[in-house]
A and B are shown apart, each in its own frame.
Chain A
Amino acid sequence: MADPMTRIPVAEQDPKVRATNFEEVCLGYSKEEAMEEATRCLKCKNPQCRQGCPVSIDIPGFISKLQEGDIKEAYFTISKYSALPAVCGRVCPQESQCEAKCVRGIKGDAISIGKLERFVADWARENNVKPVAADEKNGKKVAVIGSGPAGLTCAGDLAKLGYDVTIFEALHKAGGVLSYGIPEFRLPKNTVVASEIENVRALGVKIETNVIIGKSTTIDELMDEEGFDAVFIGSGAGLPRFMGIPGENANGVFSANEYLTRSNLMKAFDDSYATPIVAGKKVAVVGGGNVAMDAARTALRLGAEVHIVYRRGEEELPARVEEVHHAKEEGIIFNLLTNPTEILVGEDGCVTGMKCVEMELGEPDESGRRSPVVKEGSDFVLDVDTVIMSLGTSPNPLISSTTKGLETNRRKCIVAEDNGATTKDGVFAGGDAVTGAATVILAMGAGKTAAQAIDEYLQGK
Chain B
Amino acid sequence: MYKIVKKEQLTDSIFLMDVEAPRVAKKCYPGQFIIVKTDEKGERIPLTICDYNREAGTVTIVAQMIGASTMQMGRLEVGEGFQDFVGPLGCPSELIHEDPEVLKKMNILFVAGGVGTAPVYPQVKWMKEHGYDVDVIIGARNKGLIILEDAMKEYAANVYIATDDGSYGFKGNVNDKIKDLVNNEGKKYDLVVAIGPVIMMKFVSLLTKELGIRTIVSMNPIMVDGTGMCGACRLTVGGEVKFACVDGPEFDGHLVDFDESMKRQQLYKTEEGRAILREKEGATHKNGGCGCGGDK
Contacts and interface: CB of A to CB of B under 8 A. Distances in A.
A318 interface: no
A266 interface: yes
A272 B43 CA distance: 11
Interface string A253-293: 01101100110001110011111101000000000000000
Contact of A276 (B260, B263, B287): B287
Interface residues of B, number: 45
Contact of B230 (A211, A249, A257, A272): A257
A349 interface: yes
A258 B225 CA distance: 9
A249 B286 contact: no
Given A216-B24, A239-B229, A349-B260, A274 B69 contact: yes
B125 interface: no
Interface string B24-38: 100100000000010
A251 interface: yes
B263 A398 contact: no
Contacts of B42: 274
A275 B286 contact: yes
Contacts of B232: 254-255, 258
Contacts of A251: 263-264, 266-267
B15 interface: no
Given A216-B23, A249-B235, A210 B227 contact: no
A216 B27 contact: yes
A257 B229 contact: yes
Quick one: which of A240, A258, A274 has the most chain B CB within 10 A? A274
Interface residues of A, number: 40
Interface in B80-115: 83-89
Contacts of B88: 215-216
B286 to A, nearest CB: 5
Interface in B230-289: 230-232, 234-236, 241, 246, 260, 263-264, 266-268, 271-272, 275, 284-288
Nearest to B257: A249
Interface of B: 23-24, 27, 37, 41-44, 68-69, 72, 83-89, 224-225, 227-232, 234-236, 241, 246, 260, 263-264, 266-268, 271-272, 275, 284-288
18 contacts: A172-B86, A210-B84, A210-B85, A210-B86, A212-B89, A212-B227, A215-B27, A216-B23, A216-B86, A239-B229, A249-B236, A254-B231, A255-B231, A261-B224, A261-B229, A261-B230, A272-B284, A278-B268
Given A249-B264, A258-B232, A396-B227, 13 more contacts: A172-B44, A215-B88, A215-B89, A215-B227, A216-B24, A239-B228, A254-B231, A255-B230, A257-B231, A268-B286, A274-B72, A274-B284, A276-B288
